[in-house]
Chain A
Amino acid sequence: MSSDGGMWLLALGPAGATGLYWALYRYYRNTDKSHDFEHETAVVAKPVTGSERDQKVDEVKGTQEKRISGDNVRQYRQRVKRIQGDSG
């Protein structure tokens, strides 16, 4: 193990302490809980459309990122730019 590869180990203590603190705090206080309405509401949906228009627009070469930057496909509650529709 080189010094470079080993030094990160020193973060183990603080990271472990903070991680445990948060895990237990949330277990007691449950600040991260809410109604999972996305999955517990009766939803009837027509088939999703638009996949036929998926269009390749660019290529990425040699990135070290495992996911697309700003990946929010599972962050349903994270609002993005709202284009006004005809709500009524």
Chain B
Amino acid sequence: MPTTPPPIPPPTGPGSPQDVPPPRGSVPIDPATLPQPIRDELQAPDPVAIDTSAAELKDGLNRCPKCGSTEIRQKPGTDLLICQYCRHEWHGEGVEEEFGLGEGIDQLQGTVIASGAKDIKADTASLMTFKCPGCGAEVTVNTANAMTARCHWCRHVFGVNEQVPNGAVPDAVLPFHIKKDDAVARISQFVDKRRLFALKAFKEQFTPENVVPVYLPYMIVDGNASAAVAGHGEIETRCYTQGSDDKKKTYYDADVYQVERQIDFTVDDLPLESSSERGNLDTRANTNNIINTILPFDTKNAVKWNASYLAGITSEKRDMDVEKLRPRLEDELLSIARAQVEKSVSRFDRGVRWEQEQLSVHGTRWVSMYLPVWLYSYHQPGPNGGMLHYIAVNGRTGETMGSVPVEQWKLLMAALTVGTFLEAIALFLVGHSS
């Protein structure tokens, strides 16, 4: 029986974010076999949307096209902007039409990169980036409407001398849709289902109202590609048992095939983290996979970049360019191709071992975009600077995922108790059978 906790899962392979994720809501163990308190926690209902129309978000401070007033709000629960003065309602300029996104993907050739900084209409001089002395993150603030800001990761408050030259400005922004009350409720529900073994300090300090809205930088990529895979597959031809009683063993005969498949395909709006820090999904060092999990967003509804959208909301600088992200894109395109050909090899009932793969990317189109995330963070002290845990809520769909720090000894005790109980049954059975 283990006396020390099993090691943290590796950054790649089974149990890591690089593994194909388990189906939504699945638990790898049958809750019916567990003690009542654990079962209750696992089987508690999942977070549901709670839509309260009280709080408003202050993004969207451009001028009303009808009366010129700057008293503009996002109409709660919609993508519309509304003028507080004349009640005129309108939709922000969509990037979908502007850049012709989503169209002619199968005709894409070469690399098309949206203008990034060139077409900006709003004044970006008021955008300042600060380097957080608390955790090292680079946080962008629109100083036109906010002179102070907090780091959304560690809540450190910035001073002017922490300013660094501003970085990249995106092509588009997807406005928040989920309101703060809703995000708070979702985060509370997420944690309520994970209290039994949560770190004591985390539970004591848990204040979901501390959730902050953040725009995180992504590259939204369309691609036109072809892929080919080759390997071996097996079809069972005979299944038989030999030996008697408990020495019985099952044997299989199979035909082995050389298998090849090709596929031409396009992908529409594949999101890639364009901050190298957020794109690093090493679960031993960070919990960035939590933010990755709340993808995708309805990026088709993004509007053209306008600094006014940052009112009261911090954001993060993009530091990955297209060439640096290309390997990530190719990796994901290969994974998509492999998923796409799976059905075509279903006749190989003993599975397929792909041995070679090939990818030809004919064309790609890249748009840099800010996506809205509600973020609750908790810093767990420990060696190497400890670990930052996040609970993140997709600012459009409300999808919620989080990392709750565990009280190691409690979890071990529960595991050992259940293990000891099982062992007692095993000893009983073995003792009575020989």
Contact = CB atoms under 8 A, between A and B. Distances in A.
Interface stretch (B53-61, B64-72, B140-148, B423-431): B423-431
Contacts, number: 332
A75 B355 contact: no
A79 B106 CA distance: 25
A6 B422 CA distance: 14
Interface stretch (B78-86, B284-292, B304-312): B284-292
Interface string A39-75: 1111111101111011111111111111111111111
B289 A59 contact: no
Contacts of A21: 2, 5-6, 411-412, 415
Contacts of A33: 17, 21-22, 289-290, 293, 401
Nearest to A85: B360
B332 interface: yes
A68 B350 contact: yes
Contacts of A87: 330, 359-361
A22 B15 CA distance: 10
Contacts of B110: 88
B2 A14 contact: yes
Most buried by B among A31, A58, A80: A31
B185 interface: no
Nearest to A1: B433
Contact of A29 (B250, B261, B287, B357): B287
A55 B360 CA distance: 25
A18 B28 CA distance: 12
Contacts of A82: 334, 356-359
A82 B357 CA distance: 5
A46 to B, nearest CB: 4
Contact of B429 (A4, A9, A69): A9
Contact of A37 (B1, B332, B354, B415): B332
Contacts of B28: 19, 22-23, 26
A9 B412 CA distance: 21
A49 B62 CA distance: 51
Interface in A1-36: 1-7, 9-14, 16-36
A18 to B, nearest CB: 6
B352 interface: yes
Interface of A: 1-7, 9-14, 16-46, 48-51, 53-77, 79-88
22 contacts: A3-B434, A6-B429, A16-B422, A18-B415, A19-B29, A20-B418, A21-B412, A26-B15, A26-B28, A31-B8, A31-B9, A33-B290, A36-B21, A41-B267, A41-B268, A49-B263, A50-B260, A55-B257, A56-B256, A64-B251, A68-B233, A88-B110
